[in-house]
Amino acid sequence: MHKDCERIMLTEEALCARVEEVAKEVDVRYAEKRPLVVGILKGSIIFYADFIRHLSCPVELDFMAVSSYGSGAVSSGKLNIKKDLDKSVAGRDVIIVEDIIDSGFTLANLKALLYDRGANSVIIVTLLNKKERREYDIEPDYNCFDIENEFVIGYGLDYDERYRNLPYIGILKREVYEK
Ligand code: IMP
Ligand code: MG
């Protein structure tokens, strides 16, 4: 285990098994479709790569990078698109793949934006859900794990751009972000 981890919350094995299970549920629903699978950079990359390998429907891949202005517990109310999609979503069935839903700000705004651009349908697939932190009226359609209100790293998730490459989800030691 990395020295900055308090403990491992989800092992590689647990992640692998649950991601497969959820991807197969999604796959059944899209059997007759050709979804555009939108990964939200950068946190979703490892989850995304594992998720799409369990889909048998014909998928197209695309990515967006977004950030919310301001930080801390209260979002300031504007989504900043740092990298937009390459493809048009008009008429498409979109699957948004995101690492974690926290306040819900990012996904509430993103879902509305993609519908505004003419998407036929938009669903949200998340790896982690911090339910008790929700401030916006949005829920994932599929979620792999509900977690407690702890700051987690690994399997794509970062603190200050670090730890994304850890193969498990770990709880970051408080002393790392409180110093
Ligand atoms: P929301 O817009 O408040 O739902 O925040 C979602 C974003 O916050 C995620 O895409 C992550 O980038 C970040 N985030 C929230 N909680 C964590 C965490 O525990 N570890 C790493 N990133 C987090
Ligand atoms: Mg993110």
pLDDT tens readout for residues 114-134: 999 999 999 999 999 999 999
Q: Does residue 129 line the site of ligand 1, with CB under 6 A?
A: no
| Residue 4: active-site member | no
Query: Mean pLDDT for the chain?
Result: 94
What does pTM read for this prediction?
A: 0.94
How far are the Cα atoms of 57, 100, 103, 108, 139 from residue 150, in angstroms, in the given order?
Answer: 35, 12, 13, 22, 19
Per-residue pLDDT, 35: 98
Q: CA 175 to CA 19: how far, in whole Å?
A: 31
> Which helix (H) or strand (E) covers residue 18, if one does?
helix 12-29
Q: Does the structure show a pLDDT above 60 at 138?
A: yes
Q: What is the pLDDT confidence band of residue 173, given thresholds at 50, 70 and 90?
A: very high
Q: Does residue 140 line the site of ligand 1, with CB under 6 A?
A: no
Could you tell me which residues are beta bridge partners of residue 62?
Answer: 38
Q: Tell me: the pLDDT tens digits for 24-40?
A: 999 999 999 999 999 99
Distance 140 CA to ligand 2 centre (A): 14
Q: Does the structure show a pLDDT above 80 at 110?
A: yes
Distance 128 CA to ligand 1 centre (A): 9
Phi first, then psi, for residue 31 (nearest 5°) are: -50, -40
Q: Does residue 156 line the site of ligand 1, with CB under 6 A?
A: no
Do 19 and 127 touch, CB atoms closer than 8 A?
yes
Q: Which one is catalytic: 99, 102, 141, 160?
A: 102
Q: Which residue has the tokens 């979804």?
A: 35
Q: CA 96 to CA 36: how far, in whole Å?
A: 8
Per-residue pLDDT, 69: 64
Distance 41 CA to ligand 2 centre (A): 6
Per-residue pLDDT, 73: 43
Q: Does the structure show a pLDDT above 60 at 74?
A: no
Per-residue pLDDT, 78: 80
Specify whether the backbone of 150 is left (phi greater than 0), alpha (psi in -120 to 50) or beta.
Answer: beta
